[in-house]
Amino acid sequence: MAMIRNQRRHRLVAYSLILPFVAIFSLVFAYPIVEVIRLSFTNATLIGGGEWVGLQNYRELLSDKLFYTSLKNNGYFVLLTVVPTTAIALGIALMVQRLSGRLQALALALFFLPYILPVSVVTQIWAWMLDFQFGVLQPVLELIAGKPIPVFKNPHWVMPMVALVTIWWTNGFNVLLLLAGLRNIPQDLYEASALDGANRRQQFARITWPLLWPVVALVLTLQLILQLKLFDQVYLLSEGGPFNSSYVLLLMVYREAFQQNNGGYAAAISLVVFLLIVTVSVLQYQLLRIRGRK
């Protein structure tokens, strides 16, 4: 009898510990997802119930040319950012690891400082530096292109420049993750390989890269998820222009929901974006895990 009471008491304690998480998860994650799924099958406005229309929103989305343009721009942005930012972060982490003391702390602070800035501040800084008339970086662009370029009004330059801003802004976090991974590699391995005559390139190929690969895979996956959710930088720097050359999926959601008041259609786009992010990120992570086992 006493054993049964103890079991019930343990269960009550366990349920009381789990209940706050379940309540918060249901309120801020599960319920919104269910509501978005329901709204995506209606013609509801941003505030209101709407009528059931079935798959009409999804049929309309599949025939929307702007959707395919936005999807292409998202894919282009992923190519411009995910692998380059990971490679740059790895190079920075390898250099910072060789420093020590206050110099290392200063280097980390300098690289991490942009990450703590709000996106509005980041975009304003780069808008000033790349300003067509007074930007301090315009002479550099003039050397490359032969003339000053209004980068956020040029369809060929806008996405690469947004990618550059994004890499500068977010790379500090990647550097910290990779530096933590480098510090977890036992130094005994490097000392033993040095005694065997291995140079730094061989040590990187045979020790650093294989042992750091799980962290690299994590950074690549996080970056993929982050860059597929692109919105703030594009909205503040180019608003999707010029000629929809930087229009992305979440800008479609914003336009349909808050400018056109099409809540049902915006919910359908949101659900497609959510499924796209989940599918691509899980697929990439599994492929990276398989690559790491070889």
Ranges of the chain whose pLDDT falls below 50: none
What tokens does 75 get? Answer: 């894919």
Q: Tell me what pLDDT residue 117 has.
A: 92
- pLDDT for 83 equals 94
pLDDT for the residue numbered 81: 95
Eight-class DSSP state of 258: I
Rounded distance, CA 121 to CA 128, Å?
Answer: 11
Query: So what's the pLDDT on residue 2?
Result: 57
DSSP state of 52: B
In order, the DSSP letters of 243-254 are TTTT--HHHHHH
pLDDT value of position 107: 87
> What domains are there in the chain, each with its CATH number?
64-293 (1.10.3720.10)
Contact assessment for residue 61 and residue 252, using Cβ atoms and an 8 Å cutoff: no
**How far is residue 260's CA from residue 164's CA, in Å, rounded to a whole number?**
31
pLDDT attached to residue 194: 85
Q: Whole-angstrom Cα distance, residue 197 to residue 191? A: 10
Question: What pairs with residue 42 in β-bridges?
Answer: 52
